[in-house]
Structure 1
Amino acid sequence: MNLVGHLNCFVIVAEELHFGRAAERLGMAQPPLSQRIQRLEKELGVRLFDRSSRKVELTAPGRLLLDEARDLLARVDRIHSLAERARLGEIGTVRAGLPPDLGGPVVAALIAAFRERAPGRRLELREIGTAEQARALADGALDVGVVRHPIDARDLTLGPALVQPVGVLVPADGALAAAPEAHLADLAGHELVVFPREESPGTYDELLASCRRHGYDPPAVHEARHPQFALGLVLSGTAVALTARTEDTGGVTWRPLAGTPLTWRTSCAWRRDLAPDQEHAIEEFTAVATAVLRQEAGMSPLDGVPARRVAPRPASGFLA
């Protein structure tokens, strides 16, 4: 017996208390409907309705079972809905990598925006540099990543590229803080604080090469994994840090670089041989991440359209 189908008939008859109207709602003749109710009663071992020539009424067992039947039918509908959403790739877990230098507010905004756009999905985030993201994507350990350029993209598909100006973090009481902006050549003689090369070798090498082309060849380069270590080096007065815009705090201040000689380029990336059931999830994450990076991290598309809002990160988290 098709229990779900028979329970559906029971609920409709209970709502109508009239076999003719119930049969019309169900798109069937009245005799087969009566037979289904009788089979259901036999299966359950109770009478569900008192029938007479003048009216149909629920019995006490019928009233007791009506809410249970409705709940069961609702759960069956939910199962069908979830199965359809799964078929369309609208549910499941998205494993995404984020670079360590994204600030906390940006990460929080990304999580909130993704939940709003894809409430049926679980977002599993990992703080991971570009080089490790590329390996994780190749190994299938990540579904999508937010990566820095340049990157070896032979086996990857890249989303819309965004650019972010890089400025310099200097002591607030130092000579470099006196001007509204700094030239790279003005940094000569200062040691440099930057993210570890292993996190994004292409970005690291490109940044140092650009510094040297513009007259800044740092006497020493310090790779900082933790923001407090980087801040300590800057506060010592011997080093500066190249980073995206940050708030002035804790004795340090951020200055833009004249002419914008340095930028960070960022995009989402995923495997080219993406499974069909993953495509929709990756599209959703890419759309959300691109919008959040523009709105919250001050990034702009390569066509030069400015970001709508720039929310500076605290200096204490500029490398985290």
Structure 2
Amino acid sequence: MDLVRHLHYFTVVAEELHFGNAAIRLGMAQPPLSQRIKRLEEELGVRLFDRSARQVRLTEAGRLLLTEARDIVARVERLRELARHGEGQVLKVGLPPDLDAAAIAGFVAGFRAGHPDVRLAPVEMWTADQLSALAEGAIDVGVIRHPVNAPGLSFGRILEQRQGVLLADTDPLAERAEVHLADLAGRELLMPPKEGEPGLRAEVLAECRRQGYVPAVVHQGSGLGLVLAGAAVAFAPRSEPPGLVWRPLLGSPLTGRFSTAWRVETGAVTAFTAVAVRTLKESAGMTDEGAAPARRVSRRPGVMA
């Protein structure tokens, strides 16, 4: 068991006295948080919280542990900071696994040009994992998808990216210039993992239902093999990998929203955020939130009000 990490979870729950709020602050689901607190209690051989349907209270043992736990977590974080400076500063950055390679290259080159003394260490992580890693200090800054609810974090400028649909080049819809979401009826959908992008999944599926598309099956993953085989479709920014075609969605009903996120702002974090905004605009075609023309959802020909 990672005792320091579990003590960090304990301090957050002790501050919130609410497992749901603590889970949101840590960027994780409530059941795993409850399991980790139970594991810590088993490891220490004491009960830390009195739980009831209405409230959560610290036990006497919990109150005695809280001050020490905060001190231990702070000391370990300080040791990590000293170690980083001793080896030369490293900025640990979380990036979505499906982010375009050109954007990642732009992050590295752009940041290195202005800060040659700081080594950028990218780690591929979905949004939910990044939020947990930021709360724990495992990474310094991340590029995350919205919507998210993480009160303990700060966020940079939100950028928007128009989403279309990727289809196998043999799909009859590939002959069209535009595709309405309702035209995808009966097709299976490939999306990022539910546990990694819960906010994105809920938002996209709600809009699909509103527009008349309820996927037959929702697959989870980032590889496009299912789409290439014609077994599913996927929503993505403009791109055309071999064997696939990208078509805009009529009315542009789906927009990806990205920003940087951090827990502790440093000069390196601020510099990376500026590089990220510039790179995502130049390499990924993103725009400032609200800067794009207002979206107008058109009805398909023949569909009556």
Matched, 1:291 2:278: yes
1:154-165 to 2 correspondences below 5 Å: 154-165=151-162
Matched, 1:303 2:290: yes
> Whole-Å Cα distance in 2 between the matches of residues 113 and 189 of structure 1?
44
1:26-56 CA-to-partner distances (Å, cap 9, x unmatched) read: xxxxxxxxxxxxxxxxxxxxxxxxxxxxxxx
Match of 1:143 in 2: 140
User: What secondary structure sits across from 1:163 in the alignment?
Assistant: strand
- The residue aligned with 1:238 is 231
Deviations 1:160-215 (A, max 9, x none): 00011111011212211111111101100111111111111111111111111111
Alignment of 1:129-278 (within 5 A): 129-225=126-222, 227=223, 230-231=224-225, 233-247=226-240, 249-271=241-263, 274=264
What is the distance in 2 between the residues matched to 1:256 and 1:146? 25
**Matched residue type, 2:190:** V
Alignment gaps of 5+ in structure 2: 1-83, 294-305
Quote the Cα distance in structure 2 between the aligned partners of 1:305 and 1:215.
Answer: 25
Give, in angstroms, the shift of residue 245 of structure 1: 1.6
Take 1:134 and 1:122, find their aligned partners in 2: how far apart are those partners?
Answer: 22
1:103 to 100, 104, 107: 100
The answer to whether the aligner puts 1:281 opposite 2:278 as a matched pair is no
Segment of structure 1 superposing worse, 172-181 or 130-139: 172-181
Q: Distance in 2 between matches of 1:155 and 1:212?
A: 32
- Residue 297 of structure 1 aligns with an amino acid whose one-letter code is A
Structure 2 CA distance, aligned partners of 1:265 and 1:188? Answer: 25
Is contact 2:187-2:216 (8 Å) kept?
yes
1:139-177 CA-partner distances (Å, limit 9, x unpaired)? 011111000001113011100000111110112122111
Aligned counterparts of 2:153 and 2:100: Cα–Cα separation in 1: 25
Q: Which amino acid aligns with 2:152?
A: D
Cα RMSD of the aligned pairs, angstroms, is 1.8
Letter in 2 for 1:299: M
| In structure 1, C-alpha distance between the alignment counterparts of 2:176 and 2:114, rounded to whole Å | 43
Q: Which residue of 2 aligns with 1:81?
A: none
Matched position secondary structure for 1:100: coil
Q: CA offset at residue 236 of structure 1?
A: 3.0
Q: Distance between the aligned counterparts of 1:303 and 1:262, measured in 2?
A: 14
**Equivalent residue, structure 1, for 2:65:** none
Aligned equivalent of 2:110: 113
Q: CA deviation at 1:250?
A: 2.5
Distance 2:228 2:92 in 1: 37
Give the partner amino acid of 1:267. S
State the shift of 1:255 in Å: 0.6
Map Cα deviations across residues 110-144 of structure 1 (whole Å, 9 max, x no partner): 10001011111111110001000000000011111
Larger Rg: 1
Aligned-residue offset at 1:237: 2.7
> What does the per-residue CA deviation read over 1:217-266, in whole Å, with 9 as the maximum and x for residues that have no partner?
011111124x2xx33x223333211112212x422101111111001100
- 2: CA distance, partners of 1:151 / 1:137: 13
CA contact (8 A) 2:170 2:230 kept: no
Q: Secondary structure at the match of 1:123?
A: strand
Deviation at 1:305, TM superposition (A): 5.8
- Between the aligned residues of both structures, percent identity stands at 47
Q: How does 1:11-22 map to 2 (within 5 A)?
A: none
**Matches of 1:160 and 1:119 in 2, distance apart?**
25
Q: Given the two structures, how large is their TM-score scaled by the length of structure 1?
A: 0.62
